[in-house]
Amino acid sequence: MTATPIRLLLVDDDPLVRAGLALMMGGSGDIEIVGEAADGDQVEDAVQRTRPDVVLMDIRMPSVDGLTATRSLRERADAPEVVVLTTFHADEQVLHALRAGAAGFVLKDTPPAAIVDAVRRVAAGEPVLSPAVTRQLMRHAAGTAADSRQERARERLTALGDRERQVAVAVGRGLANAQIAAELFMSVATVKTHVSRILAKLGLNNRVQIALLAYDAGLLDEDGH
């Protein structure tokens, strides 16, 4: 039995970029391009029409930027996952995209196979960050360790139990569920349950936002990673 293809919506104002992405993704065998949009103001309608599983979203567009479109999209009850794809990787752009609810942030110079893999992983519920982006987030965490963001983040994390906190730190380090299970000596199903509880308790959208909160709270520094 053939697995159901991942339904993908492409959003980029450059038709050549969209054509290249469509060629790259369409040749993967398990990803179906269900639609395209040339600006952020077209995203809501395109999602309504095509019902994608994942949206590959550019940041800089003429009318409505990708960050605004992502934030609006993630407010929907049936929101698809969003992977932000851009040539820019300034710290603030990364943070704004992830805080808007994006499940991943991939640079356009990422190898094609890695972009395809990013879509697959996000569709499977695993967040994706380019290694360069992860390093930037670590620098951001170090740079804001003494400010009020850390205090607010730590206050929010008091809602978690000890094991949930350990899982949150592991998510922040970018570990997949199977890796977390092995490291913390629990089943993958238990890890998934903890992640779901963390999201519910903290009112977060996805695992990337758990990671951001762990960064902000300085937990990764404490953990020695």
The tens digit of pLDDT for each residue in 59-84 reads 888 899 888 898 888 888 788 999 98
- Alpha carbon distance 74, 45 (integer Å): 14
For range 140-160, the mean pLDDT:
74
For range 206-221, the mean pLDDT:
82
CA distances from 121 to 24, 40, 54 (A): 16, 24, 10
The tens digit of pLDDT for each residue in 88-118 reads 665 566 677 777 788 887 888 888 888 898 8
